Amino acid sequence: MKNILEFLNNGVVNGKYLNKIFSIIKKKKIALIAINCIDTNTINTVLEAARISRSLVFIQFSFSSSIFFIGKYYNLKTNIENKNLECAIKGAILAAKYVQEASVFYKVPVILHTDHCIKENLKWIDCILENNIDYFKSYGKCLFSSHMIDLSTCSIKDNIEICSDYLSKMSKYSIGLEIELGCTGGEEDGLDNTNISNEKLYTKPKDILYGYSKLINISKNFTIAASFGNTHGVYKPGNVKLNPKILLNAKNLIKKIFKKDCFLNFVFHGGSGTSNSIILESINYGVVKINLDTDIQWNYWLGVLKYYKKNKKNLCSQLGINNIKNSFNPNKKYYDPRNWLKYSKKYVFKYIFNIFNILKCINLI
C-alpha cells in the first residue's frame, strides 16, 4: 500500500485532519490502533513501532495514567483539595508535551488523545483546554488532537447536551471529540462497569441517531464509542458477546432519516482479546479507531516475567548466584531496571508490530 497519509507532518496531528484521515482509511477498510500509554517507556515503544511500520497511531492517556505519569507524591504534606485531579491535569499536560517533542524526534505523526473522562472528572478536560489556549499562543498548535468525554452514566439528553458544549468549545481549536453512547463493560482505570445491566452494553441505534443529529449541527469533528457488547479486559472465550451489527443498523437508520449517506465514525473500546473477524466486521460498519489497553499491559508484564525466569539465579541478591556458597560477583547488570524494562519494551513492541500487520495499518505515512 502506498503512503496514503503523506500529507501529515511529523509530530502531534492537528485535529482538523481527523475526518480526512478517517475517510481515507475507511476506503482502505482499515482502522487506526489506539494504545493506552502510562510512561515514557510505553510512549517510546509505540513511536518506534509506528516509525518502523510506517503506521499512524493514536497515543492516549486516561485520567489515572496521567496521574501515574507525574506520580502522586503520597508522602508530601499538602493542602491541595483534590490531589488526584491536580496530578491528572499536570500529568496529561506533561505527557502531551513529551509526545509533542518525541514524535518529531522519532519522525512520525501521531494522534494524541485523552481516554474516558467521566462526569466527575470534567474539570480535568476543562483545565487541559485552558492550558491548551496558552500552548496554542506559544506554539501555534494544540496540546492534544482530541479528547473523549464519557457520560455514559447520564441520561442520553444530558450526555449529548454536555458533549455539544464541549464540541463547540473544542471546535474553535479544531480539537476532535469522542463521545460514549451505551456503556463499555468490565473495569479499566478505576472505571468499573462490571455490574451494569446487560442491556446497557448494547447501544440503541435510535440513541446514536439522536446524538448524531445534535452534534452534526455543531461540527463534523466527532466520533462515537457506541457499545455493541464491548468490555474492557480479556475474558474467557464466549463470555463477551459482541454484536457489531448495531453499528450498521444505526448507520442505516441515520441514512433513512437524513436521506443521504452518513459519515459516522465509530470507536471500538475493549479491543484486547477480540477475534480478527469481529474487528474486521466492525471496520466494515464504520469503526475507525480500536482501543488496546489490556493486551499492552499483559505484554509489558510478560517482558518482565520472561526476563525474571531467564535470569532468576542472579536476581535475588545484590551479590552472588543463588545456592552457590562463597560466590560474591555483583549482580548489578541483572537488576539494573534498564535491562528488565528493555524486555517489557521488546514484548510490547512485538505485540504492536504484529497487530499493525494483522490489521494492515502499515505503510500509511
Please give the positions annotated as active site. 115
Q: Is 337 helix (H, G, I), strand (E, B) or coil?
A: helix
Question: Which residue, among 40, 46, 36, has the nearest Cα to 356 in the 3D structure?
Answer: 46
| φ/ψ of residue 15, rounded to 5 | -55, -20
- Region binding Zn ion by CB under 5 A among candidate stretches 74-82, 157-165, 268-276, 278-286: 268-276
Q: Which is nearer to Zn ion, 270 or 303 (CB)?
A: 270
User: Rule CB under 5 A: is residue 269 a binding residue for Zn ion?
Assistant: yes
Question: Which residue, among 176, 97, 110, has the nearest Cα to 138 in the 3D structure?
Answer: 97
Distances (CA, A) of 70 to 64, 73, 99, 113, 297: 10, 9, 14, 17, 19
Q: How far is the CB of 173 from Zn ion (least distance, A)?
A: 24
- Region binding Zn ion by CB under 5 A among candidate stretches 124-132, 163-171, 206-214, 261-269: 261-269
| 49 vs 52: CA distance, rounded Å | 5
How many chain residues interact with Zn ion (CB under 5 A)?
A: 2
Cβ atoms 181, 155 nearer than 8 A: no
Distances (CA, A) of 365 to 7, 48, 225, 288: 8, 14, 26, 16
Q: Minimal CB distance to Zn ion: which residue?
A: 269
Provide the greatest CA pair distance for the chain.
83
- Region binding Zn ion by CB under 5 A among candidate stretches 55-63, 119-127, 265-273, 320-328: 265-273
Q: Which is nearer to Zn ion, 159 or 184 (CB)?
A: 184
Q: Which is nearer to Zn ion, 63 or 343 (CB)?
A: 63
Q: How far is the CB of 230 from Zn ion (least distance, A)?
A: 8
User: Rule CB under 5 A: is residue 113 a binding residue for Zn ion?
Assistant: no
Binding pattern to Zn ion, positions 37-66, x when CB under 5 A? ------------------------------
Q: Which is nearer to Zn ion, 63 or 353 (CB)?
A: 63
Can you say how many angstroms the Cα of residue 259 is from the centroid of all Cα atoms in its chain? 33
- H/E segment holding residue 148: strand 146-149
| 333 vs 354: CA distance, rounded Å | 30
Q: How far is the CB of 241 from Zn ion (least distance, A)?
A: 18
Q: How far is the CB of 26 from Zn ion (least distance, A)?
A: 21
Q: How far is the CB of 358 from Zn ion (least distance, A)?
A: 21
User: Rule CB under 5 A: is residue 147 a binding residue for Zn ion?
Assistant: no
Q: Which is nearer to Zn ion, 269 or 289 (CB)?
A: 269
Q: Which is nearer to Zn ion, 230 or 299 (CB)?
A: 230
The number of CA neighbours under 13 Å toward the Cβ of 59 is 35
Residues 159 to 218 in contact with Zn ion, rule: CB under 5 A? 184
231: region left, alpha or beta (phi > 0 left; psi from -120 to 50 alpha): beta
| 317 vs 179: CA distance, rounded Å | 50
Q: How far is the CB of 186 from Zn ion (least distance, A)?
A: 9
Give 175's DSSP letter: -
Q: Which residues bind Zn ion (CB under 5 A)?
A: 184, 269
